[in-house]
Amino acid sequence: MTTVPYKRDIVICYPECQNNGTCIQTNTCLCATDFTGSSCEIQSGGLCSDDNTTNIAPIFLVTFGSGSATFSSATPANFSFTTTYQQAFTIPIEDGYFAFTNAIPNVNTVWHTGALDHTPNDIDGYMFLANADPNPGQFYRGTVNNLCIGERYEFSAYLTNLVGPFGLAKPSVIFQIRTSTSDNTLIGQLDTGEIPEYSTMTWTNHVAIDFRFSFLRANITRFWYLFDD
């Protein structure tokens, strides 16, 4: 009699199961408690409080740091976002370029040269300066993780027009909130319209989107687009 060794089928999950999930058949993960998704990448429970979240501290805040140098050497990667714009570390800042700067540089006579960021009483705080490209561009794209299903969220940003009252084209910004699923489902959108020019550079807090998160996937991606009209 001949004994044949038992050969067990090998199952493979791609991508691999995360968060202690178990691959039970080809590309099928059995997820641990409080996780879901095709590869158990989504934490679906234990994240959220039943408390009222009105007026609590921001869960995501970007200020771009501070420093004595006029131009920061930091890059978008330091602040966990991407952009279609090119970065400038000195003047000039051409159309389609951006910079992290602690004061509006003396690029031309129509900019508010020397104007500072909106944060009161900070020292050498950097701002995100984008010189709008005539072709619409995506100047900021970032992700906020672990949002709570059923909770209310507000997304806002301080914006200004760095050009004085010279009758030039005014920028506008489109804010979009999208899911981080493969189809990037649009949750909310707001167009600021033309951002006005002032004799003194004036920052305005744009409460862009107030929404309640009701999707299964507890992550969203935030997209900003900047247009030069």
Q: What is the CA radius of gyration of the chain?
A: 23
What is the CATH topology of the domain spanning 10-46?
Laminin (2.10.25)
Q: Kindly give, in sequence order, each residue whose CB lies less than 8 Å from that of residue 149, ignoring residues fewer than 6 positions away.
A: 48, 213, 214, 215, 216, 218
Q: Domain spans of the chain?
A: 10-46, 49-228
Contact 220, 151 (CB under 8 A): no
Q: What is the mean pLDDT of each run of 10 residues along the chain (229 residues)?
A: 53 83 86 72 52 63 91 93 94 94 92 92 92 86 77 83 92 83 78 91 80 46 41
pLDDT at 48: 53
pLDDT at 42: 64
The neighbour count for residue 71, using CB atoms within 10 Å, is 20
pLDDT at 101: 97
Q: Kindly give, in sequence order, each residue whose CB lies less than 8 Å from that of residue 141, ignoring residues fewer than 6 positions away.
A: 81, 82, 83, 221, 222, 223, 224
Q: How far is the C-alpha of 13 from the C-alpha of 15, rounded, in Å?
A: 6
